[in-house]
Each structure stands twice: as structure tokens, then as C-alpha cells.
Amino acid sequence: MLTAVRQAVEELVQERGSERMTIPMVAERAGVNPTSIYRRWGDAATMINELATYRLSPNRPLPDTGDLREDLIRWAQEIVVHFRDPSVAALLRGSTASAGAGASDCLRDRRAEAVGLVERAENAIVVDEVVDHVIAPIVFRVLYLPETLDDDLAADLVDRLFSER
């Protein structure tokens, strides 16, 4: 059931946007009973948020080369490549819209990863700088300028972060 629901959500978010997608639509597309979806997620916003987070697993290993700059570049590149997928970008847009004033789980997970990378490096870089100079520009581009998610973006953002120090 979970795979069918994920696929249905991805397709519907791309086709209609998250704000026009309903749980009955997802259930019909996935071939499951709407009650099953309501029981698991409760509402469409929670479902979209969880599925956006699922797509970039917080349990995957983070780069660990021993060099913070290289780790941040590899990590940011992974995020850029991930969000080039239109269905993933649509889920991020949907989870961001459904999160309201708070951050989506997906974005909270990226911040937690940044904490892990920065803390183990014992460097002068702080997490909020990584959020402001690396994560935020990537998310902005996913939301508004997806065509600018190029191969050089991750290294350019990290280089700017380090040059401002």
C-alpha cells in the first residue's frame, strides 16, 4: 500500500499541486481505501510532509572525508541532484506549503544534517551559516528557479560560505 500511495501522491502533486490534492484522490489513484490513508496520516498535509521527508532519508550516511568544505560540497550536491527530480521538487513544494509557519520535516532534517557535519568538524562555521548560505539558496531554487539547479551550484554555494569567513 505504501508504495502505491507514495507514487499516487507524487503524481497528483505534480499534476494538480498539493493544495488541490485530496486523500480520496490519492486513495483512488493508489487503489486503496481512503480510510487506510486517514488512519495512517490523518490529513493530506501530514501525508505530503512525511512523503517529502521519505524521499531524502535522514538515515543515509553523510559524507565524512575529514574536510568540512568537501563534506559540505558532497552533501549539497546530493541535495541538488535529489531536488532536480520534478516529483521530488513537487513534494518539497507541497510539504513547504502544508507546513505553514513551521518548517517541513524535510527541511528540519537538512538542518539536523548540517548540525552533524559542522559539529564533527570543529570549525568556525556555524549551522545557521550553512542554512543561510547553502540550504536556503538550494530550496529557493527548487521552489522558484528549478532550471538553475546545475552541477556547479553546490560547490559555488559552499565556496561562497567559506569565502565570507
Among positive and negative, which fits the CA dihedral 131, 137, 143, 149?
A: negative
Is the whole model's pTM more than 0.85, yes or no?
Answer: no
Task: Give the separation between CA 26 and CA 9, rounded to whole angstroms.
Answer: 6
Same domain membership, residue 14 and residue 75? no
The answer on 149 and 70 residing in a single domain is yes
If residue 6 lies in a helix (H) or strand (E), which one and from where to where?
helix 2-16
Dihedral sign for Cα 95, 145, 61, 7, please. Answer: positive
Rounded Cα–Cα distance for residues 165 and 163 (Å):
5
Query: In this structure, are 26 and 61 located in the same domain?
Result: no
If DSSP codes are grouped into helix, strand and coil, which group holds residue 8?
A: helix
Over residues 95-152, the pLDDT tens digits come to: 766 555 455 666 778 888 999 999 988 778 999 999 999 999 998 998 899 999 999 9
The predicted pLDDT at position 97 comes to 61
Kind and range of the H or E run holding 23 = helix 23-30
Domain boundaries, position 139: 57-163
Residues 30 and 82 in one domain: no
Mean pLDDT across the chain, nearest whole number?
A: 85
What's the rounded mean pLDDT across residues 26-44? Answer: 93
Of residues 121 and 63, more confidently modeled: 63
Which pLDDT belongs to residue 2?
A: 80
Positive or negative CA dihedral for 3, 61, 127, 151?
A: negative
Query: Can you give the three-state secondary structure of 94-156, one letter per residue?
Result: HHHHHHCCCCCHHHHHHHHHHHHHHHHHCCCCCHHHHHHHHHHHHHHHHHHCHHHCCCCHHHH
Could you give the number of structural domains in the chain? Answer: 2
The CA distance from 63 to 73, in Å, is: 9
Residues 78 and 128 in one domain: yes
Which CATH number goes with the domain that contains 28?
1.10.10.60
